Amino acid sequence: MTEPLLSVKDLKVVFHLRRGDFTAVDGISFDIMPGEVLGVVGESGAGKSMTGTAIMGLVDRPGEVSAAEIKLKGERIDGLDEEGYRKIRGRRIGMVFQDPLTSLNPLYTVGEQLIETIRRHLPMSQDQARKRAIELLTDAGIPNPEERINAYPHQFSGGMRQRVVISLALAAEPELVIADEPTSALDVSVQAQIIKVLKRLCAERGVAVMLITHDMGVIAEAADRMIVMNKGKIVETGTVGDIIHRPKEPYTQKLIEAIPSIKAQNPRFAAAAAQGGGFASEKTDAPLVVVEGLSKEFDLSPSMLSRVFGGSRKIVKAVNDVSFSIQKGQTYGLVGESGSGKSTCARMLVGLLEPTAGSVKLEGTDIWRDRDALAKRRSKIQMIFQDPYASLNPRWRVGEIIAEPMRALGISRNGSEIGDRVADLLRRVRLDPEAMRKYPHEFSGGQRQRIAIARALSSQPEFIICDEPTSALDVSVQAQVLELMSQLQEEFGLTYLLISHNLAVVRQMADAVGVLHNGVLVENGPVEDIFGAPKADYTKMLLDAVPDIAKVA
């Protein structure tokens, strides 16, 4: 029988805190075979990332690996000193982190970082290491690797940076790769490419992969076996097909039920069809938001001095003649890959970026051309950002954060009235009013997103732009936030622009959808028409790339 490449027995990680000990990982055991992808799933706080951190010997004080037997190819690696761990990190175990910018040095080119890693672990000359670095970038799907090897991390898109990080993790030909949420912030097409890279490495080189993620669709596409973690313990383990189609534990069943399906019909469309009525997007009322011929150009030309010596002007058209409308009380989904122009559109609609051409009209008033529209724009249009923690002032209490728009817009200046309104908003987003006395860091990701929603509602807006509002959340928390957004839409008559790379979420939430590609709107219409019978090849490619648990045998 083949020996496991990695064997973990009775792993326990305890944090010694002033209020008592907290057990992050509670006596778990598992094996990973050579060439196998083991998926590790669970909600935030389940202990997934801490397990990977413990294997790498990276648990910092006050944390402690209090009990464990960890073997790599039969050799115990738990309890090594720092020098011992340094020899196996990178060389025998590679790690891919969720945020590639945290593992790339912004001051060095990706080539310099790859070459340094290769030469530290392998006996290669500078030229040999550079050649290997180019091969790694090629394997990871980076176009023009001979040129891009000289680029800095900020010159790559998020998906390309993640490929660079995968190349770094593989630079020294490790036996095991620990991939911690390697695809959570990526578009579906890039996500599919990353999954293919990992699977190919397993098949061709016998590399074992520990794939940590909250995305069950990614597990379905990439993993051979999976373990489900909750509160530091393994609650279920087995083949991917068995767990997805025949889950035994209530916790696993809850996780799977929370996954939105790309195949599921939009619930509002289904309800309208059952009543014999038309779909909501067929309303004939005057739309609340009308976008006409919207374009945005960025001048990336070199300096004037450089142009004098032969440099040419470089104009990038990020958004090119985009037009769509949104009916009051509806949700319009905007989808496309990174760099397609989604966020640029959002910034022009919210008033943060002036268009080069075209117009954005709210209730018939052009928010950029009408000088009197500024106050209306500030009060009637709000935005919910992808990362709630980054958009909430960490030095302010939650009550101050939610009250700020009321004071700034003159909606209310009476202290007791503002306090009552803040408490009411917190209740509406399903949080205890006592939360107003706490700081953002005292809340989970899902709770912080609820706070961001409450702040957006405090100015009594009509139109809210939601830029990837659930991409960093677990599936169960994502389901709660989406349900909350739907309920608030019904309650307040809100109109949403929903930007997301999760097409299943868009199908569940949106009435109509637009597909952006290289700044051009290639398809636009009712969500069921676009998802049920796409016309553009680009839309078909996006839909085909969506990980789907239904594909698992």
What gap in Å lies between CA 66 and CA 409, rounded to an integer? 54
Of the chain, the end-to-end C-alpha distance in Å amounts to 26
Give percent of the chain with pLDDT exceeding 90: 39
Q: Which domains does the chain have, with CATH numbers?
A: 286-301+313-548 (3.40.50.300)
Amino acid in position 270:
A
pLDDT at 551: 64
Residue of 189, 265, 295 whose CA lies nearest to 521? 295
Lowest mean pLDDT among 45-49, 302-306, 507-511, 525-529: 302-306
pLDDT at 276: 57
355 close to 296: Cβ distance less than 8 angstroms: yes
| Of 317 and 67, more confident | 317
- Kindly state the tokens that stand for 400: 């101050």
Give percent of the chain with pLDDT exceeding 70: 90
Amino acid in position 116:
E
Residue of 322, 332, 398 whose CA lies nearest to 355? 322
pLDDT per residue over 425-461, tens digit each?
999 888 899 999 999 888 877 788 889 999 999 988 9
> Highest mean pLDDT: which of 385-389, 423-427, 543-547?
423-427
pLDDT per residue over 328-355, tens digit each?
999 999 998 877 888 889 989 988 889 9
Q: Which residues pair with 317 in a beta bridge?
A: 297
Beta strands in 279-396 (DSSP E): 289-299, 315-326, 331-335, 357-362, 365-366, 381-384
Tell whether the model's pLDDT for residue 133 goes beyond 90.
yes
Residue 491: burial class (beta carbons within 10 Å; 0-12, 13-18, 19+):
exposed
Q: What are the DSSP calls for 429-490, one per residue? A: TT--GGGGGS-GGGS-HHHHHHHHHHHHHTT--SEEEEESTTTTS-HHHHHHHHHHHHHHHH
Tell whether the model's pLDDT for residue 108 goes beyond 50.
yes
- Kindly state the tokens that stand for 63: 């944390």
Instruction: Tokens 């908003």: give the residue.
Output: 425
Tell whether the model's pLDDT for residue 111 goes beyond 70.
yes
pLDDT at 312: 65
507 close to 542: Cβ distance less than 8 angstroms: no
Q: What is the mean pLDDT of the chain?
A: 85
- Kindly state the tokens that stand for 115: 């070459």
Query: What's the mean pLDDT in 262-278?
Result: 63
Tell whether the model's pLDDT for residue 130 goes beyond 50.
yes
- Kindly state the tokens that stand for 33: 């075979």
pTM exceeds 0.85 for this model: no
Residues in contact with 521: Cβ distance below 8 Å, sequence separation at least 6, in sequence order: 322, 323, 324, 514, 515
Query: What's the mean pLDDT in 261-265?
Result: 73
